[in-house]
Amino acid sequence: MSRLLTGQVICGINNIYSVKTPEGGFSCRIKGKVLKTEKKYYNPIAVGDMVDLEADPHTPATGWIVGRRERRTLFSRYNKKRKASQVIAANADLLIGIGSAASPPFRPRFLDRLLVSAASGGLEPLLVINKCDLGLNKDAAVRLEDYRRLGYRVLETSALEGKGIAALEEMIVGRLAVFAGQSGVGKSTLLNLIDPELRLKVGQISQKYNRGAHTTNFAVLVRTQKGLTCIDTPGVREFEIDAISPEELPHYFPELTRLAPSCAYTSCLHRDEPGCAVLEALKAGKIHPDRYESYLRIQDTLRQLEKEFYGRPFA
């Protein structure tokens, strides 16, 4: 009889998962076909998952994953390269979308997609705009005000000047936070400032499990001495929404949700329908045109995905 243990996946690469259990770390493969029944996601197990494992009686610290517990939250994306949906992280509390004021330029469309993803996956969103020492241009400042008006939390930071770091740390204490940001926005620098151990551990885990692999794009869960936990997602430079239908999308834009009851059609998609309250508000300048543009683009992408997934609809 082999022993059964429960633990949390902290890293997974090339079908080998590192699982932290009360008895220490285990290196595991998935046993047989237990988890192969899921069709929507190509990866059955993700960082943050709580799994049941069978310890290998012959080799210390190794085992087989025999089951996965239900996920509390889900951060997923459509992986363009693999033409399939991918779970990036499970069971996280907070999705921190990092952007920069400049260099690389402020890219609200990426942040808009993360906000939709957080809402659909059950995570609380937090927007962090780093490099504020470089100055926010007027358009960016207006967008940040708009986010705040919509009820999102926005933190302006400068890793260079140490601004906003304490506030960021305060936000993540006691919670499992996923960090996502496009390359160069200063994510690594921020993590390092919050707790140098975060950066160090991400590096160590990556090195340990990345031997011989072709990719460094995988998420890693770290827990520091201070008790901070976070999931770093180096691979999320390209981010496409998945797992929701084009018709559901308005629910994830608070400014549309509020107005939808006033539209003439109950199933209004706010594109060209007569009597659409959203289009009226847009004309009257009550909805930021850039947010509306984000909405249209995401919806077009979702339509496209639905076509590709024909016969395997989302939901």
Q: Which residues would be at the binding site for ligand GDP (CB under 6 A)? A: 130-131, 133-134, 158-160, 181, 183-189
Asked if residue 281 binds Zn ion (CB under 5 A), the reply is no
Q: Is the peptide bond before 104 cis (omega within 30 degrees of 0)?
A: yes
| Identity of the amino acid at 245 | S
Least CB distance to ligand GDP at residue 48 (A)? 20
Least CB distance to ligand GDP at residue 111 (A)? 14
Residue 86 site contact among ligand GDP, Zn ion, none (CB < 5 to 8 Å, cut-off depends on kind): none
- Closer CB to ligand GDP, 115 or 191, in the complex: 191
Least CB distance to ligand GDP at residue 148 (A)? 20
Closest among 237, 239, 254, 235 to 292, alpha carbons compared: 254
d(CA 119, CA 22): 32
Asked if residue 71 binds Zn ion (CB under 5 A), the reply is no
CA dihedral 188, 90, 106, 103 (to 10 degrees): 20
Q: What are phi and psi of 19, to 5 degrees?
A: -120, 130
Q: Which residue has the tokens 């330029």?
A: 105
Residue 185 site contact among ligand GDP, Zn ion, none (CB < 5 to 8 Å, cut-off depends on kind): ligand GDP
- Closer CB to ligand GDP, 183 or 262, in the complex: 183
Crossing angle of the two packed helices 289-308 and 108-121, in degrees rounded to 10: 60
- Closer CB to Zn ion, 204 or 262, in the complex: 262
Contact at 8 Å (CB) between 218 and 234? yes
Q: Which span (67-75, 88-96, 219-227, 278-286) binds Zn ion, by CB under 5 A?
A: 278-286
| Strand (E) or helix (H) holding 121 | helix 108-121
Asked if residue 278 binds Zn ion (CB under 5 A), the reply is yes
Least CB distance to ligand GDP at residue 313 (A)? 35
- Classify burial at 139, counting beta carbons within 10 Å of its beta carbon; exposed 0-12, middle 13-18, buried 19 or more: exposed
Contact at 8 Å (CB) between 143 and 112? no
- Closer CB to ligand GDP, 24 or 135, in the complex: 135
Site residues (CB under 5 A) for Zn ion, limited to 244-263: 263
Q: What are phi and psi of 153, to 5 degrees?
A: -85, 130
Least CB distance to ligand GDP at residue 147 (A)? 19
How do the residues of the chain divide into helix, strand and coil, expressed in percent and rounded to 5?
Answer: 30, 25, 40
- Closer CB to ligand GDP, 117 or 130, in the complex: 130
- Closer CB to ligand GDP, 128 or 278, in the complex: 128
Least CB distance to ligand GDP at residue 297 (A)? 24
Q: Which residues bind Zn ion (CB under 5 A)?
A: 263, 268, 270, 276, 278
